[in-house]
Structure 1
């Protein structure tokens, strides 16, 4: 068929769907199309979706446009940037080298990367794989050093700032802290041990043997990838703009692939054709902390959906969203790749899976119940985690409990227990004897996070003025300025970056980066501050 005719047919909504094997039920194509209706046609970015059972493709389909700029539709074989879906291939490369006897999973990472600082603890390769190493997150550190989202990020940028760190988020092996820096270091380990870059190693040892013809790891955002979908972001005034990741490094991201190739890969995680059964099992076995499973395996998130075990991974970078999910007991694999930042690829992939799973299925979220005990709004307030220094703000708005600025109302699902909207996350509140409240939060991982409600005096203008001054972190190479602006404080750092500090009581403030807590000397004077968020804990910034 002439390629121009094929493109016209695709743009009109006619898509290629692979034939269904005789043993599989007829795919519910209209129902799948309905899920992607908002992302179909010639005026919007969209998604490619693939479904397979026991390795046999049931559906390969494209919706929307790969490039609005050039009027190119998404086809089943359109490559996408798949963001953190890349992590499982980096983990697999490490596993192959361990199987080959070229390294050990319990090796100290400094054995292979001696330029890394001695943090006073051994950090093993397997801890990097399982996100239990405790390293501060590269993206947060670079942001504090002045990098913007549109800036190129290179190997030297990351390795340089990691080498300057003099502290960890937590003792290695003591908890899980998801991030990207560990996988960046693992990519360097692959290169140092094998003598090949991760892109070259993966091509020779993973992609070529699995016939993943449209998959590559890209180490330069300027590299051309034939037919690749462009990333997009929605504009407030309407319309779209391009949104591309600017990563010149590999390991945690920079995978370019198609849904068809991902289905081949997901099958390999079932049959172990490449790598063998032992490596397959290691890839799917959870890391552990104090003997308890963390829910993160070899670049794979272990979970459950509607009562069924799953493994897979999502991905979010710039104007791309991705999700792969496998149901091992049902031999069902789903891959969704999208090119707009507003698309929830994870939700779509699970909704697609629902169409192919045999009923009855458990409810996706716990059912709402009549609220017992204090009303949800009674739990409003500011909650703080002593362990991570994170702050969560909850507010009573429109008669419901919500996260500060968030739209989802908390729905009661048990005594003192709620879910935000249709989320699967659980928030459990408990009144304390001192009149306070405790929050236990289960979100992405099996281990809960704990917070206590805090109440502190909001500083007046005179107290705020005492925080003003210049502060310096040699670990990120940045001088910060805290200044009074109107009735509040503002934090400024290089290249015009600014953030309003919103007081939450005493010496503690919140900003888009997380929590800023001023520290004091023995005489009570302000001698610095610390910065914390989900991926950075108490980075010290002394006062000049």
Structure 2
């Protein structure tokens, strides 16, 4: 319930206070409206806390934590927070650095010997800022046969996968590419130096001092947790259970409540854990080898919203979605923990900011891309639909779909793609990932921008086709030394498809000569001097040039 309450008796209340109470009441009503669609006894939903100037303006639960047993969500409900965990992992590393237990310039191999020697150091600073060049653990595990969020994944599974990595995505420090692997390794570093489990260290050094009594890193999958919300996916007219299956910590697996996240927010005012020097590190952008900076600090994204500086992190695993966003110079923080995969906490956090910082955001609009949607021409949106590639960056792809009258982007399938909204200035912005925008250039290419910085230049890919006879030469079995898990390319009636023991057939669509797309992967076949296919290079959003040899 809101921290501010209305007078309950006839005691005289100054007019200014009365107006303030009325304004707060209107804000709360507007926030309640945002979540009204999930505030039902037959739907998962979300817990929300809103902190303004150090005081809890609102803490609410909307919807159900457990549909089987009719348990409603409360502010005290415990949620899997996914990647919101990373800022706590970074804090643990910074605490040890402040004490002299480690240096951020240390090579990770000093502490985790399973990391291969790539001929160049990978520092703890690289891991913190996603500039290490390591391949992402979830992507490699799925290529190795794991079904993400369905098969159990342990720390040991991740380490064995890292051990098999042969090359890096790029030299350490050369670029920014989000990488969960780095934060799993950081948790191992903390455990190695402290002599404690990562769970024990973070509980004793962070959560207990801050009285975050319902927060911990879950390192035992089978543990019974009282008050925990269950995750769900939408399914037809109802919902399917969508739980995590993880025994790996650092990149994810912190369980928490919106009440405890309010206590974490208070720490940035009190300095009880960490203090000014640690906070400065956490809020400092990572620096690349060329001197440019990345939009990421210590486990947090650093950007702006409508002209105001924000510090935030989102998260998503199985049926859980999360966002913790702070406006450090304007006294507002928002925590949203959801147990339904179709809920978009980053967008909802911004809607709450629109309500609570209305006058300040309006004043800052000239410094940030406008957020007011434009009424788009459906025919124009339909013409934009198609496949776009960046040949300079591992055939990075952008799928645009015109679906249900809206432009959607990201996933190859329209139903899995995220809605894009056209803004006043003609840019398109993801509702779920509002820091990412697309600019339509005069030559009809698309420039992807993240926090206002150029990321990719996408060129529309025209249709390409092979005859059935031409496709025969691609059929065969392919294995990567990094995954040791065979994939078979087979010729079907309607084209090529790939399959593996624990993966169903995935259609492969030709994009260009020797280039195919399969799900979220781009497959570029390579040939020997005689023109025969010898293997393929696989690229995804977080993998570059993973080699598969043809057997």
In the superposition, the TM-score normalised over structure 1's length comes to 0.89
The residue aligned with 1:200 is: 200
Moved more, 380-389 or 473-482: 380-389
For residues 318-467 of structure 1, what are the structure 2 equivalents within 5 Å? Answer: 318-362=318-362, 365=371, 368=374, 377=383, 382-394=388-400, 403=409, 405=414, 408=419, 411=422, 418-419=427-428, 425-430=436-441, 438-443=445-450, 446-455=453-462, 457-467=464-474
Does the Cα contact within 8 Å between 2:311 and 2:327 map onto a contact in 1? yes
Consecutive unaligned residues in structure 2, runs of 5 or more: 7-16
The residue aligned with 1:92 is: 91
Does the Cα contact within 8 Å between 2:371 and 2:423 map onto a contact in 1? no
SS at match of 2:311: strand
Does the Cα contact within 8 Å between 2:114 and 2:160 map onto a contact in 1? no
| Distance in 1 between residues matched to 2:189 and 2:141, nearest whole Å | 22
- Report how many aligned residue pairs link the two structures: 520
Structure 1 position 26 matched with structure 2 position 33: no
Q: Alpha carbons of 1:424 and 1:219: their partners in 2 closer, same or farther (altered >3 Å)?
A: closer
| Distance in 1 between residues matched to 2:300 and 2:337, nearest whole Å | 17
Q: Alpha carbons of 1:301 and 1:468: their partners in 2 closer, same or farther (altered >3 Å)?
A: same
| Distance in 2 between residues matched to 1:252 and 1:53, nearest whole Å | 28
Consecutive unaligned residues in structure 1, runs of 5 or more: 1-15
Cα displacement (A) at 1:234: 1.4
Does the Cα contact within 8 Å between 1:108 and 1:124 map onto a contact in 2? yes
| Distance in 1 between residues matched to 2:372 and 2:358, nearest whole Å | 20
Cα displacement (A) at 1:429: 4.0
The residue aligned with 2:10 is: none
For residues 490-529 of structure 1, what are the structure 2 equivalents within 5 Å? Answer: 490-529=497-536
Q: Alpha carbons of 1:366 and 1:73: their partners in 2 closer, same or farther (altered >3 Å)?
A: closer
Structure 1 position 277 matched with structure 2 position 284: no
The residue aligned with 1:530 is: 537
Cα displacement (A) at 1:26: 2.4
Q: Alpha carbons of 1:20 and 1:131: their partners in 2 closer, same or farther (altered >3 Å)?
A: farther
SS at match of 1:210: coil
The residue aligned with 1:6 is: none
Does the Cα contact within 8 Å between 1:391 and 1:510 map onto a contact in 2? no
Alignment deviations for residues 57-92 of structure 1 (CA, whole Å, 9 cap, x no partner) = 121111111111111111111111111110000000
The residue aligned with 2:2 is: 17
Q: Alpha carbons of 1:270 and 1:498: their partners in 2 closer, same or farther (altered >3 Å)?
A: farther
Does the Cα contact within 8 Å between 1:131 and 1:177 map onto a contact in 2? yes
Q: Alpha carbons of 1:519 and 1:20: their partners in 2 closer, same or farther (altered >3 Å)?
A: farther
The residue aligned with 1:4 is: none
For residues 479-494 of structure 1, what are the structure 2 equivalents within 5 Å? Answer: 479-494=486-501
Q: Alpha carbons of 1:481 and 1:444: their partners in 2 closer, same or farther (altered >3 Å)?
A: farther
Alignment deviations for residues 253-297 of structure 1 (CA, whole Å, 9 cap, x no partner) = 111111111011122234422111100111111112232221111
SS at match of 1:293: coil
Q: Alpha carbons of 1:112 and 1:424: their partners in 2 closer, same or farther (altered >3 Å)?
A: closer
Q: Alpha carbons of 1:54 and 1:233: their partners in 2 closer, same or farther (altered >3 Å)?
A: same
Does the Cα contact within 8 Å between 2:385 and 2:399 map onto a contact in 1? no
Alignment deviations for residues 411-450 of structure 1 (CA, whole Å, 9 cap, x no partner) = 4755xx5315765643234456xxxx64321146734222
| Distance in 1 between residues matched to 2:435 and 2:249, nearest whole Å | 31
In the superposition, the TM-score normalised over structure 2's length comes to 0.88
Q: Alpha carbons of 1:203 and 1:117: their partners in 2 closer, same or farther (altered >3 Å)?
A: same
Q: Alpha carbons of 1:409 and 1:275: their partners in 2 closer, same or farther (altered >3 Å)?
A: closer
Does the Cα contact within 8 Å between 1:144 and 1:493 map onto a contact in 2? no
SS at match of 1:264: helix
For residues 80-159 of structure 1, what are the structure 2 equivalents within 5 Å? Answer: 80-149=79-148, 150-159=150-159
